[in-house]
């Protein structure tokens, strides 16, 4: 295979956390994240992503329970590497578990997981999840040291943190954005050469998704906040369909017609 061929179809995981954020603003039952997940499925999502945070600020335990039972497409549970979350994941056995760093005072997941300094613990942490059949991924910065550590602990998948790339894009710092994009591209390639499956996400929008979607090694993008925000103007169905079509367009532009 040449570098100019994608490794496979690029999947879209739709993160529905912020449907729950809006619901929780009033404490009632709507808007319902499961309804959003079902709608995402009909709009072309390949999976649903939900982050059960330690402080339950958006997704709740009941949401994870309802999503586990109420959707047909795979559920990707994002969580911190804590005993509490491990027990929840082992109870529900979602298709995928993505380990993310978590700090209570942060507004969103600010950096990647520090795998290199916590290898032994994380290797033990993911073993039962893998034994239970969950596809474990580790959310990390585009950093060679972290990628190597994720590989050493036996994680089959990494998700590259695109937050810095997106922040530079929003700030209009083209040079910094392009440098970060190049770093992500190189690290996607490096991770793939180690045998890891590569995903990416955080902060992606209609404006900045295409360069990332064009990386041949990237198999999945997880996108949430922008899609839910855009749904205010165009509806969730339309925002997801547009994102899907931009991802497909990026693949066609990079690899030719017939490739998505
Ligand atoms: N991937 C991971 C690991 C995340 O933690 C998040 C945010 O929850 C996302 C993707 C989606 O990011 P955004 O909501 O900014 O699209």
- Residue 233 belongs to what H/E stretch? helix 225-234
Strands 135-140 and 157-161, by their bridges, are parallel
Asked if residue 244 is part of any domain, the answer here is yes
Asked if residue 6 is part of any domain, the answer here is no
List 51, 92, 161, 168, catalytic entry: 51
Q: Is 199 a catalytic residue?
A: no
Please tell me the predicted confidence (pLDDT) of residue 104.
62
Asked if residue 78 is part of any domain, the answer here is yes
Asked if residue 44 is part of any domain, the answer here is yes
Q: Is 51 a catalytic residue?
A: yes
Number of helices and strands in the chain (H, E):
11, 8
Alpha carbon nearest to ligand 1 atom 6, residue: 202
Please tell me the predicted confidence (pLDDT) of residue 259.
65
Asked if residue 245 is part of any domain, the answer here is yes
Note the Cα 243 to chain centre separation in Å. 14
**Per-residue pLDDT tens for 21-78?**
999 999 999 999 999 999 999 999 999 999 999 999 999 999 999 999 999 999 999 9
Domain span holding position 65: 11-253
Alpha carbon nearest to ligand 1 atom 9, residue: 202
Ligand 1 centre to CA of 223 (Å) is 6
Positions of the chain with pLDDT lower than 50, given as ranges: 1-3
Q: Is 84 a catalytic residue?
A: no
Compute the distance between CA of residue 161 and CA of residue 155 in angstroms, rounded to an integer. 16
Compute the distance between CA of residue 103 and CA of residue 190 in angstroms, rounded to an integer. 29
Compute the distance between CA of residue 238 and CA of residue 81 in angstroms, rounded to an integer. 34
Name the domain count of the chain. 1
Give the CATH number, domain containing residue 231. 3.20.20.70
């Amino acid at each position: 295979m040449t570098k100019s061929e994608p490794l496979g179809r690029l999947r879209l995981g739709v993160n529905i956390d912020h449907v729950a954020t809006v619901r929780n603003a009033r404490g009632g039952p709507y808007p319902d994240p499961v309804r959003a997940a079902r709608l995402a499925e009909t709009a072309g999502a390949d999976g649903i992503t939900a982050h059960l945070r330690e402080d339950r600020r958006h997704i709740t335990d009941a949401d994870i329970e309802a999503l586990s039972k109420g959707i047909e497409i795979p559920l990707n549970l994002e969580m911190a590497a804590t005993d509490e979350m491990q027990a929840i994941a082992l109870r529900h056995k979602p298709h995928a578990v993505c380990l993310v760093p978590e700090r209570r005072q942060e507004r969103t997941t600010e950096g990647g997981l520090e795998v290199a300094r916590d290898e032994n613990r994380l290797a033990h942490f993911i073993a039962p999840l893998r034994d239970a059949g969950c596809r474990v991924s580790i959310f990390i910065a585009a950093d060679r040291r972290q990628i190597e550590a994720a590989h050493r602990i036996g994680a089959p998948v990494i998700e590259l943190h695109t937050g810095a790339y997106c922040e530079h894009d929003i700030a209009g710092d083209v040079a910094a954005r392009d440098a970060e994009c190049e770093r992500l591209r190189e690290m996607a390639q490096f991770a793939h050469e180690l045998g890891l499956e590569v995903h990416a996400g955080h902060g992606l929008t209609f404006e900045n998704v295409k360069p990332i979607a064009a990386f041949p090694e990237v198999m999945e993008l997880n996108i949430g906040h922008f899609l839910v925000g855009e749904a205010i103007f165009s509806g969730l169905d339309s925002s997801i369909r547009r994102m899907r079509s931009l991802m497909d367009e990026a693949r066609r532009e990079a690899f030719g017609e017939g490739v998505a």
